Amino acid sequence: MKTIKLLFLSIFLISIVSCSNEDDNTVLLEVQTETVLNLHAPQIGGQGQPISGAFTKFSFETGTVTTSDTNWDIAFRGTTIIVNGGESLGTNDEPVRTGNAAAYIANGTMASVTEVDTDLLIADSTNGYAIPSGSGNGWYLYNPQLFLVTPIAGKILVFRTHDGRYAKVEILSYYQDAPENPNAMVDEGRYYTFNYVYQPNEDVTTF
Amino acid sequence: MSLNKNNLTLIFFIFFIGRSSAQESSGTPKDSLEVESLSEVLITGTRTLRQLSSLPLPAQIISKKQIQNINSVRLSNVLGEQTGLITVPDFGGGEGIQLQGLDSQYTLILIDGVPLIGRLAGTLDLNRITVGNIQQIEVVKGASSSLYGSEALGGVVNIITEIPKEGLDAEINYRQSSFNTSDLSTSLSHKKEQFSINGFLNRFSSDGYNLGNNPAINTVEPFENYTLNTKIGYELSEKTDAKISLRYFTQNQDFVASEALRGESDINEWNALLLFNHEFNSKWQSTFEFYTTRYKTNEFLDDDTGNRFSDNFFNQLMIRPEGRAIFKLNENNEFVGGIGLTHETLDRTNFSTTPLFNAPYIYAQWDAHLNDQLNVIVGARYDSHNEYESQLSPKAALRYEVNNKLAIKGSVGYGFKAPDFRQLYFDFNNTTVGYTVLGYNVVEEAIANLQNQGQIANILVPVSQFDSALKAESSVSFNLGFDYDISSSVKLNVNAFRNNINNLIDTQIIANKTNGQNVFSYFNISEVYTQGLEFNASWKPNNELSISGGYQLLYAKDKEAEAAFSNGEVFARQSPTSPAFQLSENDYFGLLNRSRHMANFKVFYNLPQWKLSTNLRVVYRSKFGLFDSNGNGYLDNFDSFVEGNAVVNLAVNKTLFDKYKLGIGADNLFNFTDAPNIPNVPGRIIYATLNFQL
């Protein structure tokens, strides 16, 4: 009798699990893979001078630059990238964080980083940004001989958006129109080109 | 030119004595047989005279005749044409030697068995050394610390200067070449009965050259240098003889940092060697040697208003007494033992102290012919030191003669390089950029000072890590090969090598400064290896023609980097803006500035009816990387490389009236240059030489 009961119970459980899977599949939104070209991230000052100027805000949901004070996920100014979560470092013109965004940097390729390790996510704080600034610390290397900013190969930026979704980003270029071999003397800098994958479904941590 | 007038007078005085006493003995026939036999034996491998062909170690002799045939005047040119050796420019401006894939700081350079000093940043500049008075150059590959101690990690280059022959001998050699470079060597030697003397004077000067775009700063600034060398020998009795050898080198060179900052750089170096040999009986022989050398540089820069901008000096002294004995038990067993002390001091700009090294040492070696076919050499040396761990360097080598055509030889040895003064005591603050470099031993004090001044933002490596002493860089080297005389005219020699290097010292960031720059210090970081195959073949169909070729295959890699690649932690992009991908183990190229393939091909041809000798030499190295261009921290197949290159050298010499020789030629005939990557190749050099030999 006991075994039969157990059998029934297992079948019942299996069916629930598989049902719920099917249910999810029908509602799940499609994962979005996009490329952003020439996101302009100007700044004032730098190289010893105080840095200021508005950050260029970006929303993964719309896939566009936004001026909204709340519906943004990440923002760019020069080589600095901030998230809409945590606290401001207190630099000039830094926007107020209103959301729950966070980030970390994974080693890998867009294809190999398939799951978010939520334990690693940190928000911006008064001590520093979630994406560390400075050459070799975060996403880029600066070559002082050529004055060139180059994205480090194998660095995937993993984000939680302001409203709890996830995205992964690979920055490809810091120069306008993403030239094959950028020249800091000729090519205009502070123009981001990046690939990203956005998981629009809440609480889904895979891409 | 700050040439010491007293020294000049002394040298000319010696010349004069040599000349006046020479007149009595002119006409004595020259012992040409002795010269011939000397060219086949070497002393570097075992510290006893050994036939090159029977030595169980990978070794090579470059004879005076070879040097004269290629009309070479500086050591760098001569060594750069040998298989497996390559001259590489150093950032200090010098040119060092890479041997079995090891950097120039790991090859010991000796003159007549005693070391040259003056490695400002590790490299000993080979352009400093004239070849005008060289009898032969001996190169022994593989770790040789069992006899020579520190620095003999990759190998040893021993420059044997000329030994006076019976009677009077005089030689003048002059070479004028492109870039207004001229080299004049005069030597005079005399030997009569117990007394021998020789004097040598060399002057070398050049206008330098400029490969860059800035006309104000040359790649090599104009310079002028002099080498004076004299040797006096006296046989006190049939069993005892004494020798004094003095060498003085002085150089003056323009020093230009920018259009506004100009100055001069001076080098003054002297070496003095006093030697007593005594033969007790047919079995016992002993040598006492007292060696002193000083290497001094001074350089300054003035700005355009005439104010002193910078002043740098370097003043190194080495004193080394050594006693050694050879005991010949019988025909087949020979023992060599030695005991000595190296005392070194260095006074240098940007040093926290004037450090002092005292390093007593003792060594012994047994050379045995166990039977007609088998020769075994076993030896060891113990180096004690007041600043770092003592070192025991054993070595074993054997040679087995399979038949009279084929011999197999192999050796295993330990080599080390003691941390140098710079790695221990440097206290340098770059005022224009703002970074700091600290020697290992000054970290604690210097960091505390910087902290008190509020210059330290955060410490990355705790100061307590510097409590234990910095370890010597060390290696275990293996060589295995064979000599095969295919016929009397065709010879082949193959050697496989592997060097496992531990505790390689490198710089690493230890703290961040508040100005955004970093503090660096020296650490035992890496484990690297170099391995490869060397191959030499020669064909001498007759007395007038000789064709030879050499090849070296080399893999030089960092073990940690290899692991990072195989763990899939390294990424690259096809172009700077394409998506990244993971690299595999096969994508790791290896250490910087190493070519996978190096080759040379030489043809020497004599036309006796015209008293003409000609030669053509081609030296090739395959592509190599100078820096990590794609920013992943490693040299991989997706980095940009310096293309492989071949340099062709041509020389023609004609003998006139027996005593004169006229030569013309071109080094780098096809005018190869690669300005940013290979600054030590100035382009085509056309030259003419005139040689007179009494």
| Chain A CB contacts of B577 below 8 Å | 172-173, 178-180, 182, 193
CB–CB of A66/A57 below 8 Å? yes
**Mean confidence (pLDDT) of chain B:** 88
pLDDT band at B414 (very low <50, low <70, confident <90, very high): very high
Average pLDDT over residues B644-659: 92
- Closest chain A residue by Cα to residue B568: A108
Residue B3, pLDDT score: 42
Which range of B119-128, B211-220, B236-245 scores highest in mean pLDDT? It is: B236-245
Q: Cβ contacts (< 8 Å) between B569 and chain A: which residues?
A: 107, 154
* The residue count for chain B: 694
| Residue of A36, A38, A152 to mutate for B, most B C-beta atoms under 10 A | A152
Among candidates A173, A170, A172, A167, which has minimal Cα distance to A190? Answer: A173
Query: Is residue B434 pLDDT above 50, yes or no?
Result: yes
| B632 → closest Cβ in A112, A154, A180 | A154
**ipTM of model:** 0.73
DSSP state of A120: G
pLDDT for res B206: 93
Please check whether residue B497 is in contact with residue B478, taking contact to mean a CB–CB distance below 8 angstroms: yes
Which residue of chain B is at minimal alpha-carbon distance from A172?
B577
Q: Which chain B residues are closer than 8 Å to A195 by Cβ?
A: 579
B458 touches chain A (CB under 8 A): no
Identify which has the larger pLDDT, B45 or B22: B45
Residue A192, pLDDT > 60, answer yes
Per residue in A130-186, pLDDT (tens digit) is 998 877 788 988 877 778 888 988 999 999 999 999 999 999 999 999 888 888 888
| Residue that has been written with the tokens 């004599």 in this structure | B606
Q: Where are the domains of chain A?
A: 1-28, 31-199
Q: Do B576 and A195 touch (CB under 8 A)?
A: no
The answer to whether residue B359 scores a pLDDT higher than 80 is yes
To the nearest whole Å, the CA of B259 is away from the closest chain A CA by: 19
- C-alpha distance from B570 to closest chain A C-alpha (Å): 7
Residues of A in contact with B582 (CB under 8 A): 108-109, 112, 154
pLDDT mean across residues, chain A: 84
In angstroms, rounded to a whole number, what is the distance separating the alpha carbons of residues B662 and A194?
Answer: 68
Question: CA A56 to CA A76: how far, in whole Å?
Answer: 5
Q: Which two tokens stand for residue A104?
A: 């970390």
8 Å CB contact of A181 and B575? yes
Q: Are strands B456-459 and B427-429 parallel, antiparallel or unpaired?
A: unpaired
Tokens of B117: 């000093």
Q: Does B539 touch chain A (CB under 8 A)?
A: no
* pLDDT classification of B117: cutoffs 50, 70, 90: very high
What gap in Å lies between CA B408 and CA B424, rounded to an integer? 43
* pLDDT of B95 above 60: yes
- Confirm or reject contact between A108 and chain B (CB < 8 A): yes
Asked whether the predicted pLDDT for residue A46 surpasses 90, the reply is no
Does the pLDDT of residue B626 top 80, yes or no? yes
Q: What is the model's pLDDT at position B156?
A: 95
Mean pLDDT of B77-93: 84
Q: Are B576 and A180 in contact (CB < 8 Å)?
A: yes
Closest residue on chain A to B631 (Cα): A152
The pLDDT, as a whole number, for residue B622 is 94
- Say whether B571 and A195 touch across the interface (CB within 8 A): no
pLDDT of B474 reads 94
Tens of pLDDT, residue by residue over B298-343, are 999 999 898 998 899 999 999 999 999 999 999 899 999 999 999 9
Per CB-CB distance under 8 Å, the chain A contacts of B581 are 109
pLDDT at B93: 64
Q: What is the pLDDT of residue B265?
A: 92
How far is residue B346 from each of residues A170, B126, B269, B414, B429, measured CA to CA in Å?
A: 52, 21, 14, 27, 19
- Please name the member of A153, A173, A179 whose beta carbon is closest to the beta carbon of B632: A153
Q: Flag if A108 and B582 touch (Cβ within 8 Å).
A: yes
Q: Contact B582/A170, CB-based, under 8 Å?
A: no
Give A-chain residues touching B629 at CB under 8 angstroms: none
Q: How many CB pairs under 8 A join A and B?
A: 52
Asked if B252 and B226 touch (Cβ cutoff 8 Å), the reply is no
More confident site: A27 or B49: B49
Confidence tier at A4 by pLDDT (50, 70, 90): low
Residue predicted with more confidence, B110 or A180: B110
Over 70: is that where the pLDDT of B39 sits? no
Report whether pLDDT(B34) > 70: no
Q: Among residues of chain B, what percentage have pLDDT more than 90? A: 60
pLDDT at B518: 80
Cβ contact (<8 Å) for A179 and B577? yes
Environment class of residue A160 by beta-carbon count within 10 Å: exposed (0-12), middle (13-18) or buried (19+)?
Answer: buried
Q: How far is B301 from chain A (nearest CA, A)?
A: 24
Residues 214-243 in B contacting A (C-alpha not used; CB under 8 Å): none
Whether residue A109 and residue B582 make contact (CB cut-off 8 A), yes or no, is yes
Cβ within 8 Å, pair A107-B576: no
- Given a cut of 50, whether residue B627 has pLDDT beyond it is yes
Q: Which helix (H) or strand (E) element contains residue B690?
A: strand B685-693
Distance from C-alpha of B57 to C-alpha of B480, rounded to nearest angstrom = 9
pLDDT given for residue A11 in this prediction:
52
Higher pLDDT, A19 or B261: B261
User: Does B158 score more than 90 pLDDT?
Assistant: yes
| Predicted confidence (pLDDT) per residue in B486-527, tens digit | 998 999 999 999 999 999 888 888 887 777 678 889 888 789
Q: Residue A9 — very low, low, confident or very high, per pLDDT cuts 50/70/90?
A: low
Q: What is the dihedral of CA B48, B49, B50, B52, to 10 degrees?
A: 130
Tell me whether B676 touches chain A (CB under 8 Å). no
pLDDT, position B8 = 44
Task: Mark yes or no for CB contact A154/B582 under 8 Å.
Answer: yes
List the single residue in A with minimal CA-CA distance to B583. A154
Least confident piece of the model among A8-17, B163-172, B478-487, B563-572? A8-17
- The pLDDT value recorded for residue A5 is 60
Domain boundaries, chain B: 165-312
Q: Is residue B513 within 8 angstroms of chain A, CB to CB? A: no
Whether A138 and chain B come into contact, CB under 8 Å, resolves to no
Residue of B569, B580, B631 with shortest CB distance to A109:
B580
Q: Does A89 touch chain B (CB under 8 A)?
A: no
pLDDT-wise least confident of A16-25, A140-149, B160-169 = A16-25
Confidence (pLDDT) at B23? 40
Chain A residues in contact with B570 by the CB 8 A cut-off are 154
Mark yes or no for CB contact B582/A112 under 8 Å: yes
Query: Do the Cβ atoms of B577 and A178 come within 8 Å?
Result: yes
Nearest 5 degrees, angle CA B625-CA B555-CA B57?
Answer: 130
User: In terms of CA atoms, which chain A residue is nearest residue B570?
Assistant: A154
| Residue B440 pLDDT greater than 70, yes or no | yes
A181, closest residue in chain B (CA to CA): B576
Among chain B residues, the shortest Cα distance to A154 is held by B571
Would you say residue B468 has pLDDT above 90? no
A112 touching chain B per CB within 8 A: yes
